[in-house]
Structure 1
């Protein structure tokens, strides 16, 4: 039987937040930010396991109580220097633990996207589970796009036709994703879909929600706090 598992690469430092504490542990609604992604994924009935890939030198994780997720959550201390390396190492560790088969689906989700909803997650799984390639949540770009030069002067306006902003989760078969990341090792790969595209395949775009944004700067954290707080009392 095909299984569905989630993987959260969380070995980065989040340096653009300007905080000494890694971004995934910044407080958000009385929990570390990564908690919210883990909770949404662990609460999903389709997902069998949730794997978190940490840096081998990460000691902050153990400052928090994760026992409520003990039946689904597995920590892998094999994070790399880049996102793609962390995901690649995580996929290998899952295979070495005999926790996955090549045909099993893997949903890779950012620790810094705490506002993912169950509805978005269910929609992705439903639309992609029979797809021969896999797919990802994304939103069509609505804003006007400007191409700038080295001096931050506009060179031209870019067409936004058929342009989408990629989100996560990104959902691909374990064997295919591991192959794609191995073949693109050392190349400029910013997400899992990029690796799949690089080997000649076309992932499916599933419409997401602008609330499923990535927390990158300090003001993003404040907005995420408002969204999660509102949902908690809805």
Structure 2
């Protein structure tokens, strides 16, 4: 039996660093809610069995009418951390027939620059991989280690050879990812991405070249940048 593809969009964060009066995923960019562009990219990939958005139970900003025409489901099962939201989302995917051997692509709601082409490039690279992997970019900038004890001065320059900046989607088998998060939780570790949990099990996820346009909207100035990208750059 061929493994199926599912997408999981954790959308329970408050976006406290963005400076917005509402969670950043609902702020308007290029004429639509930021979340719209994320969902539209997965909607354009008909090979996905289901896209599931995980909301906080008390989310009062989500309005399904703003995303009409897009194929996705919603569950209000978000947790206090990203790790908890993903774990709850994996459990909810079982409602849609997702099995342990099926693939799940976990993607940040606040990366609206994702495109169907990028999603498909990740799937093509990993569909026969025994572990899975993530979209990422080689680090291009010189890295400086700060000496906080000296008032923010540079302590040293760090070599960047072999360093990659993690992006999403991150693609793993549902069963393996669930086991990895359970192990991390049992060991008392709150990991910031899915690959970290897989690494915690002792596996080595694969790195797949991503794109600069797939950056995570985090700070106030990021909204103007992503607005320009989405208005003037095709998402195919």
Query: TM-score with structure 1 length normalisation?
Result: 0.95
Partner residue, 1:170: 170
Deviations 1:101-145 (A, max 9, x none): 000000000000000122211110000010000011000001000
233 and 130 in structure 1: CA distance in 2 versus 1, 3 angstrom threshold: closer
Partner residue, 2:78: 79
List alignment gaps of at least 5 residues for structure 2. none
> For this pair of structures, how many residues does the alignment match?
231
Partner residue, 1:3: 4
Partner residue, 2:14: 13
* CA distance in structure 1 between the aligned counterparts of 2:91 and 2:47, rounded to whole angstroms: 22
Moved more, 179-188 or 22-31: 179-188
Partner residue, 1:112: 110
CA RMSD of aligned residues (A): 1.5
1:65: Cα distance to partner?
A: 3.0
List alignment gaps of at least 5 residues for structure 1. none
Query: Is the contact made by 1:4 and 1:47 (CA closer than 8 Å) also made in structure 2?
Result: yes
Deviations 1:172-208 (A, max 9, x none): 0000001101111141301000000011000000001
Partner residue, 1:223: 225
SS of equivalent to 1:166:
strand
* CA distance in structure 1 between the aligned counterparts of 2:13 and 2:25, rounded to whole angstroms: 8
- Structure 1 segments of 4+ aligned residues over 4 angstroms from their partners: none
Partner residue, 2:157: 157
Query: Is the contact made by 1:136 and 1:170 (CA closer than 8 Å) also made in structure 2?
Result: yes
Deviations 1:66-92 (A, max 9, x none): 3302xx311010001111110011101
Deviations 1:34-70 (A, max 9, x none): 110000011112211100000000121126433302x
* CA distance in structure 1 between the aligned counterparts of 2:53 and 2:144, rounded to whole angstroms: 36
* CA distance in structure 2 between the aligned counterparts of 1:196 and 1:131, rounded to whole angstroms: 14
Mapping 1:134-145, distance limit 5 Å: 134-145=132-143
Query: Is the contact made by 2:7 and 2:107 (CA closer than 8 Å) also made in structure 1?
Result: yes
**Does residue 57 in structure 1 map to residue 58 in structure 2?**
yes
SS of equivalent to 2:69:
helix
